[in-house]
Amino acid sequence: MEWLELTGLLSGLLCVWLLIRQNVWTFPIGLVYSVVSVAVFIEARLYADVLLSGYYVLMNAYGWYYWLYGGMRNAADVLPVSRTPPRTAWVLSLVTAVAIGAMGWFFDTRTNADFPYWDSATTCMSFAAMWMTARKYIGNWVVWLVVDVIATAIYYVKGIHFYAILYGVYLGMAIMGWRAWQLTMTKQSAERTRPVESSA
């Protein structure tokens, strides 16, 4: 499985690097990462992660479309970075908390899964973070940071060393991503408030 783990590590790093740069190619690369991860996590009996990787396939396709055509825009436009609307943030938080409890209980009582609640936590938070990423909400980086801390520990203990390294690197990349998107938001705000020059 090491060659699959290495493929996941390389495609995962490239995917996040492209996301930091707000490059739409993050999504097709993310599809490669997701498919490889399914095989890795089945072997490790991290079933919540298997479900998550399947979800990533769908959300990468959605994000690819939304970044190009979302919000009734033309393909030549750039989807702006924005903050998660407060009501949306509360709903996401509530649904994620309930899902963690339900999924953790199921895997704990009905399967031979390892770390059922912790694994479910990273999975459910990643569901929310990936949707936020597809919508280009800057808060996705904060959620990813929490996921990365937990996932790094799980993969290290499970002996999935390439993925432990990957998520350890993701920690730094999440901070870089938040800072880069924050700069973009600042530039967007400045452009909106810039006075229109007279043609006279």
User: 49: how many CB neighbours lie within 10 A of its CB?
Assistant: 26
**Confidence (pLDDT) at 157:** 93
Average pLDDT of the chain to the nearest whole number? 88
pLDDT band at 129 (very low <50, low <70, confident <90, very high): very high
- Cα dihedral 132, 107, 13, 36 sign: negative
What is the C-alpha separation between 49 and 123, in angstroms, rounded? 6
**What global pTM score does this model have?**
0.80
Q: H-helix or E-strand containing 199?
A: none
Mean local confidence (pLDDT), 158-175: 89
Find the domain containing 95 and state its range: 2-72+85-188
**Residue at 158 is within a domain:** yes
The count of structural domains within the chain is 1
What is the C-alpha separation between 116 and 109, in angstroms, rounded? 9
Burial of 46 (0-12, 13-18, 19+ CB in 10 A): buried
**DSSP-assigned letter for residue 82:** B
More confident residue, 67 or 71: 67
Q: Is 56's pLDDT higher than 60?
A: yes
pLDDT band at 46 (very low <50, low <70, confident <90, very high): confident
**Residue at 80 is within a domain:** no
pLDDT band at 200 (very low <50, low <70, confident <90, very high): very low
**Residue at 196 is within a domain:** no
